[in-house]
Amino acid sequence: MKQLGYTFRRPELLREALTHSSYCNEHHKGAVCNERLEFVGDAVLGLVAGQYLYETYSNQAEGKLSKLRAAVVCEKTLAKLAREIGLGEQLLLGHGEDKTGGRNRDSVLSDAFEAVIAAIYLDSDLETVREWILSRLVPEIRLAVSQPARDYKTTLQEVLQKKSHAPLEYRIVSVTGPDHKREYTVDLFWKNKLLARGAAGNKKQAEQRAAKLALEEKRFEAL
């Protein structure tokens, strides 16, 4: 993979990083999925991003740094970075996963991106993978810094209060994924009608995404 910008000494690590669990379920002999690598990659990415933010934005408090890291080290951003290096086209997927759009699904791409991070780390060292990560992540960090996070929940509340005093209700639909990488799915209701659904690594972010989608789609205008 020329777009990857790294040459593996142990190419079997890259193959493992690109192997989705659905492929292993269909090809049992010798196939190893990328879930264990994704676990390591998540930790390495968190360390590298955290250290960079700590060193670069020394005047920012812990809360601000945490919000910046959460805004950048998220499924959406990692999937975007995965697409930029053409990761989706290289994935080994089961027939069903491939047929239902898994090759372009954010969750699949972001997990594969973290697995690739682990593969590079295990194939080289921390400094090498740090440079690889930051060459891709720093532009996203700078973008997040230049565009402060918007409080979509408050904005939506203000918009709807002009129409009615009916309360907004955020309901957790599901909590999935391993302990180190939870995904919360939240449904947003108003006047007992579903306005939007949001998913993210924590409850607050999932609610913000649902509110953002509700503002964009404006389904409340018909209620």
For residue 45, CA distances in Å to 67, 68, 115, 194, 210 come to 15, 14, 10, 35, 26
Both tokens of residue 183?
């995904």
- 98 noted as active-site residue: no
Catalytic residue, chosen from 16, 38, 42, 123, is 42
- 114 noted as active-site residue: yes
Residues in Cβ contact with 200 at an 8 Å cutoff, skipping those fewer than 6 apart: 74, 75, 183, 184, 206, 208, 209
Q: In terms of DSSP bridges, do strands 168-176 and 193-200 run parallel, antiparallel, or are they unpaired?
A: unpaired
Catalytic residue, chosen from 75, 114, 140, 207, is 114
Q: Rounded to an integer, what distance in angstroms lies between the CA atom of residue 8 and that of residue 176?
A: 33
SS3 readout for 76-117: HHHHHHHHHCCHHHHCECCHHHHHCCHHHCHHHHHHHHHHHH
Both tokens of residue 36?
């264990």
Q: Rounded to an integer, what distance in angstroms lies between the CA atom of residue 145 and that of residue 73?
A: 13
Catalytic residue annotation: 42, 114
